[in-house]
Amino acid sequence: MKKLVGAGEILVEIMAERIGQSFLEPGPLLGPYPSGAPAIFIGQAAALGQPAGLIGAVGDDDFGRLNIDRLRVLGADVSAIAVHTGHATGTAFVTYRADASRHFVFNIRNSAAGLIETNAAATKLLAGADHVHVMGSSLFSDRAITVALSAIETVKAKGGTVSFDPNIRREIMQASGMREALDQVLAQADIFLPSGEELFLFSSATDEKGAVDELLARGLSCIVLKKGAAGAVYHDHHGAVASPGFAVDEIDPTGAGDCFGAAFVSFWLRGAAPAEALRIANACGALAVTRKGPMEGIFPLEAVEAFIATGNTQ
C-alpha cells in the first residue's frame, strides 16, 4: 500500500466548555486533547489502515507524550516526530461562538512545533513516502514552509503525489511568506481539498464552477469541495460527483475536514472510484463531529464501514 506523509504542527487543544465563553476572563476548560491539523489527518489515515507518518516536533512534556502516544495507538509512524527539551508542545485554545464560528488562541511558531525540520528521521520517512499531504495552517513560519516544500519536492521527484487542504486559520494567516507558500503548494498539488470560501482565495472567479474550472486548468487532478453537513462534491477533468453527508448530531466540528481529507486521500491512493472515496470521507467527517476533541472522533475502518451500513445520509 502507498505510504503517505504529513508535515506540520502537533498541538494540544484546550476548549472553552461553554458556547460564547470568552478567553478574557477565567472559565471552565476541557482538554488537553491531541491535535494539530496534520496530526489529525495522519491519525485518521493510519486508523483506516493506510501506512502514514508525520514530520513534526513536540516538547519533552506531557502534551508531547499525549500526542505521540495517540498517534502510535492509531497506527501512525511517529519516527519523525522530534522531541525537544526546553520548548513546550504547541497549544491551541478554542472557543465556540453562538453563530457556530470558532475563535482560536494559538501558540505554534514559538513552541516546540516551530522547531520542525527535515532532520535525518524525516529524510528517512520521506524516502519511503509515495504521497505528501500539506495543510495551509502548517505554513506558519519560514522554517515550516521549507519543510513542507522540500517534502513536496522529494516526493514529486520520485513520481509521488501531493494533496493540499488550505485549512485557513485567520489567527495565523499573517505569518510572513504564508500567502506565497499557499500558492506554491497549490501549484504542485494533485488533490485540492478546500472548504467553504477557501476555494475563492485561489481563483479570480466569483462563482464555484468558474473557480473549479480555472483551478483544474492549472494542473490539479481533482478538487474536492467540503460542504459541512451537506457532504462534498468531487470535480475532475471528466465532470463532477456529489455525495451527501451523513445525518449526525454535531458536538464539535474541529477535525472534520482533516478526517474527511485523510479518508479521501487514503482511498484515492488505493485507486477507489471518486464516489466510494467520498462516501468513506463523508462518514469519517460525520463521525469526527460526534465527539468533543479533534481526534476523539477518529475511528478504524471497520467502525466506519459499520456506520456507513447503518447511517442515514442527509
Residues that bind ligand ADP (CB under 6 A): 195, 226-229, 231-232, 245-246, 248, 250, 253, 256-257, 260, 282, 285-286, 289
DSSP 62: H
* Residue 231 near residue 300, CB atoms below 8 Å: no
- Closest approach, Cβ 83 to ligand ADP, in A, equals 29
- Closest approach, Cβ 100 to ligand ADP, in A, equals 10
What's the distance, Cα to Cα, between the start and end of the chain in Å? Answer: 32
Q: Letter for the amino acid at 239?
A: G
| Nearer of residues 38 and 285 to ligand ADP, judged by Cβ | 285
- Closest approach, Cβ 195 to ligand ADP, in A, equals 4
Prior bond of 32 cis (ω within 30°): yes
List CB contacts of 200: < 8 A, sequence separation 6 or more: 206, 211
Task: Show the 3-state SS of 177-246.
Answer: CHHHHHHHHHHHCCEECCEHHHHHHHCCCCCHHHHHHHHHHCCCCEEEEECHHHEEEEEECCEEEEEECE
| Nearer of residues 38 and 114 to ligand ADP, judged by Cβ | 38
| Nearer of residues 127 and 273 to ligand ADP, judged by Cβ | 273
Chain residue whose CB lies nearest ligand ADP: 257
| Nearer of residues 118 and 163 to ligand ADP, judged by Cβ | 163
d(CA 137, CA 178): 9
| Nearer of residues 47 and 88 to ligand ADP, judged by Cβ | 47
- Closest approach, Cβ 289 to ligand ADP, in A, equals 5
Q: Locate 128 and state its grid cell.
A: 519511503
| Nearer of residues 160 and 231 to ligand ADP, judged by Cβ | 231
- Closest approach, Cβ 53 to ligand ADP, in A, equals 22
Phi-psi region of 122 (alpha: psi -120 to 50; beta: other; left: phi over 0): alpha
- Closest approach, Cβ 269 to ligand ADP, in A, equals 19
Length of the chain: 314
Q: Letter for the amino acid at 207?
A: D
| Nearer of residues 147 and 286 to ligand ADP, judged by Cβ | 286
- Closest approach, Cβ 15 to ligand ADP, in A, equals 16
